[in-house]
């Protein structure tokens, strides 16, 4: 087991290196002078030259990358031009909010998706199955920003049940208040992922539900719930876990739109403000953190495979 985990971790190193190269090249090969973009057209030549030297933009591209990668490995993502603070410090303060939103949406998507998928598979072609899969299809097709605005209008303004913006009420920092603010953003972010997980769970459970060991479990007198969740679902988890890992990564990236709609103070909102302000180091650091988080999530899913299916360990 330890060997398997170590191999998967080693295999992630080239992926992370490739991510760092792509992030660096995308930011540096974009058209325009980064120094001029950040300081604006009214900047003096002295200010532009000083910023180029500060950011190392006067060096060859490969030297810039090596220097930047060395700083990243030491936890130094540069300094925000707009906010005059270390990028790593800014991301550290905002990442917890994004992580909370992603974790809440992921938990909601997994629970709703798995339960809906198993229930639909157990009652294939029934009215419940058709309604569940139709609802999943509609949920998958709804744009995130449109669904967020719709929830704000209905459950925030017309029926003021949930707050529509921010992470806490003014002057309040309690956990219950934060969770109350989390409801609408988490539901918005989780809807599409829950739809994908539900359809995959249904397909995977249908593949195993007709196997001999399922009939044997029923012949032993086990309850239908035990048969479905302990025997059928467990043997159908590998493709479901793959989809869950991908969806959690997508949720982390999709949080940008949700944070904008609900003014959620996470990395996504910080990144958008950095783009609008042409804050080159801030955007580069935020994109790298999000991309690296996606890789780490997929690494954790690979490790979970070994716990779900012992054959993978061998």
Sorted by where each begins, the domain ranges of the chain are 87-313
pLDDT of residue 136: 85
pLDDT of residue 264: 87
| Contact criterion met (CB below 8 Å) for 172 and 245 | no
Single pTM value for the model: 0.81
pLDDT of residue 247: 82
Residue 39 CB partners (closer than 8 Å, separation 6+): 47, 48, 51, 81
Q: Which helix (H) or strand (E) holds 89?
A: helix 87-122
pLDDT of residue 309: 67
Question: CA-to-CA distance for 238 and 135, rounded, in angstroms?
Answer: 24
- How many beta carbons lie within 10 A of that of residue 12, not counting itself? 17
Using alpha carbons only, how large is the chain's radius of gyration in Å?
23
pLDDT of residue 311: 64
pLDDT of residue 1: 64
- How many beta carbons lie within 10 A of that of residue 187, not counting itself? 21
What string of pLDDT tens digits covers the 314 residues of the chain? 677 677 777 877 888 888 888 878 877 766 666 677 667 777 788 887 887 777 777 788 888 888 888 888 888 888 887 777 888 888 888 888 888 898 899 899 999 998 888 888 888 888 888 888 888 888 888 888 888 889 999 988 888 888 888 888 877 777 888 889 899 999 999 998 898 899 888 888 888 887 777 888 778 887 777 888 877 877 777 788 888 888 887 787 778 888 888 888 888 888 888 877 777 788 888 888 888 888 888 888 777 777 776 666 55
Question: CA-to-CA distance for 185 and 164, rounded, in angstroms?
Answer: 9
CATH superfamily of 87-313: MetI-like (1.10.3720.10)
pLDDT of residue 314: 52
| Contact criterion met (CB below 8 Å) for 108 and 187 | yes
| Nearest Cα to Cα of residue 133 among 152, 113, 149, 153 | 113
Question: CA-to-CA distance for 120 and 298, rounded, in angstroms?
Answer: 27
| Nearest Cα to Cα of residue 203 among 226, 232, 246 | 232
């Amino acid at each position: 087991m330890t060997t398997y985990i170590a191999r998967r971790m080693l295999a992630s190193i080239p992926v992370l290196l490739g991510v760092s190269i792509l992030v660096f090249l995308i930011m540096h090969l974009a058209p325009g002078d980064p120094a001029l973009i950040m300081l604006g057209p009214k900047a003096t030549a002295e200010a532009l030259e000083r910023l180029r030297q500060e950011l190392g933009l006067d060096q060859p591209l490969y030297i810039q990358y090596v220097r930047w990668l060395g700083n990243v490995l030491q936890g130094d993502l540069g300094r925000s031009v707009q906010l005059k603070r270390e990028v790593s410090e800014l991301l550290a303060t905002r990442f917890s909010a994004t992580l909370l939103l992603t974790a809440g949406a992921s938990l909601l998507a997994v629970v709703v998706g798995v339960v809906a998928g198993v229930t639909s598979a157990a009652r294939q072609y029934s009215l419940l199955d058709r309604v569940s899969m139709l609802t999943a299809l509609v949920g998958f097709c709804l744009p995130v920003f449109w669904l967020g605005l719709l929830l704000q209008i209905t459950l925030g303004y017309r029926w003021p049940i949930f707050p529509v913006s921010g992470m806490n009420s003014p002057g309040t920092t309690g956990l219950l208040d934060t969770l109350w603010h989390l409801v609408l953003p988490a539901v918005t972010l989780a809807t599409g992922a829950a739809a994908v997980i539900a359809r995959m769970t249904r397909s995977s459970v249908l593949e195993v539900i007709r196997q001999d060991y399922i009939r044997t479990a029923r012949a032993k007198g086990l309850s239908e719930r035990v048969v479905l969740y302990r025997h059928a679902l467990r043997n159908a988890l590998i493709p479901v876990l793959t989809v869950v890992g991908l969806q959690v990564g997508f949720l982390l990236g999709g949080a940008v739109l949700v944070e904008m709609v609900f003014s959620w103070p996470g990395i996504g909102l910080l990144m958008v403000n950095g783009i609008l302000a042409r804050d080159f180091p801030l955007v580069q650091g935020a994109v790298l953190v999000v991309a690296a988080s996606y890789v780490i999530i997929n690494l954790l899913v690979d490790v979970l495979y070994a716990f779900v299916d012992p054959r993978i360990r061998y």
